[in-house]
Amino acid sequence: MSTKATPSSSSSSSQRSAGSSAYNIIDSHLHVWANEIESKQYKYEDGQTPPESLKNNANVLSLITKMKESNVDGALIVQPINHKYDHSYVLEEAMKKYPNKFKGMLLHDPLLSSKDAVIRLEELALQGFVGVRYNPYLWPLLEENNNIDGAITSSSSKNNMLMSTPNGSGLAVYKRCGELNMPVGIMCFKGLDLHINDIRSLLESSSKTMMILDHFSFTSLSTTNDVFQQLLQLGKDYPNQLIIKISALFRLGDRNGYPYTRLQKERFEPLLEVFGSDRLMFGSDFPFVLEQQESYSGTIDLISNVWLKDYPETVKTAIMGGTAERLFGKWG
């Protein structure tokens, strides 16, 4: 059960140095992909070549360098769209070579049948993947009132089949993830309000499955407060199932930029109050954060030593690594 946090003037705001604390700093949201040389072996998905500015800055060795500089102990790699459903780069170059540093979250293929999708999930789980990502925009396009698997459906995401469609692979994998203790992360890139009913249906389908919403569930400062209130209500309605990533701060519409004071006051602090620190977890969104003012180390320092400076150490411990290790197992 979540515990609400209250500020504490006695907590330390000093920079955490390597080996100075009993807790691990875990980056719960980042991506890696092959650089130009590695891509001769690990091909990019057609049409998903990385942007030129990041093409050679997002491979595993580049990430390890950034992690060492910032005293980050481990990371959850979310399978990148650049390699789509080919998980070999994350598996071979990260998870197998650096098992104490990296865990992986696989990308679900919604075009598979329910049976094949569950088989694929189990295969990748046996290879070490610890979670599943749902990108709702990869689900097939859906005409209004189209008949899917014998059921009339409509799409709350406007033109994509629902993740929770009865008899669909999304629902089957979501339920199996509960049995396998594998959290499911969802990217609501176009806004939480487009997926709120779909998300509720998934939550209702399996009380054993932990759901993670990426990047504040994209309840940016440019969205209405009503949408943010929907997210807070989800936290109240599903206190044992729902986790929020405090990640990709630069994507959340704070026009004043770093140090994102509005985002802290209007989004982070209400989330902490409702969800508690044991249902929030830090993520950088590497490599995209490299192009932002704060860069990689600045993001870690901002959350840990600015946003959380007046909270008890237990709050910092949970958000900066404890929640991730509770969900995905210990690193190192």
Look at the alpha carbons of 89, 110, 74, 219 in this order and tell me if their dihedral is positive or negative.
Answer: positive
Beta strand 211-213 pairing with 147-148: unpaired
Asked if pLDDT for residue 148 goes beyond 80, the answer is no
Residue 102 pLDDT: 98
- The arrangement of strands across the sheet holding 211-213 comes to 26-30, 74-78, 102-107, 129-134, 184-186, 211-213, 242-247, 280-283
Residue 283: pLDDT band with limits 50, 70, 90: very high
Residue 143: pLDDT band with limits 50, 70, 90: low
Residue-range domain boundaries for the chain: 32-140+158-328
pLDDT above 90 as % of the chain? 87
Lowest average pLDDT, out of 4-8, 49-53, 284-288, 304-308, goes to: 4-8
Quote the pTM value: 0.90
Asked if pLDDT for residue 91 goes beyond 90, the answer is yes
Asked if pLDDT for residue 61 goes beyond 90, the answer is yes
Q: Is 101 left (phi over 0), alpha (psi -120 to 50) or beta?
A: alpha
Residue 159: pLDDT band with limits 50, 70, 90: confident
Whole-number Å distance between alpha carbons of 166 and 199: 14
Q: What is the mean pLDDT of the chain?
A: 91
Residue 22 pLDDT: 67
Q: Which residue has the tokens 């998934």?
A: 202
Asked if pLDDT for residue 4 goes beyond 80, the answer is no
Lowest average pLDDT, out of 61-65, 104-108, 144-148, 202-206, goes to: 144-148
Residue 223 pLDDT: 87
Kindly state the tokens that stand for 298.
């600045």
Residue 23 pLDDT: 83
Whole-number Å distance between alpha carbons of 292 and 97: 29
Residue 149 pLDDT: 44
Mean pLDDT of 295-315: 96
Asked if pLDDT for residue 9 goes beyond 80, the answer is no
Whole-number Å distance between alpha carbons of 155 and 160: 6
Which residues have CB under 8 Å from 88's CB, separation 6+? Answer: 42
Residue 5 pLDDT: 53
Asked if pLDDT for residue 152 goes beyond 70, the answer is no
The half-sphere exposure of 288 on its side-chain side, counting CA atoms within 13 A, is 14
Tell the CATH topology of 32-140+158-328. Answer: TIM Barrel (3.20.20)
Whole-number Å distance between alpha carbons of 161 and 169: 11
Nearest to 72 by CA among 129, 131, 23, 32: 23
Whole-number Å distance between alpha carbons of 330 and 63: 20
Which residues have CB under 8 Å from 252's CB, separation 6+? Answer: 215, 216, 218, 219, 220, 221, 260, 263, 267
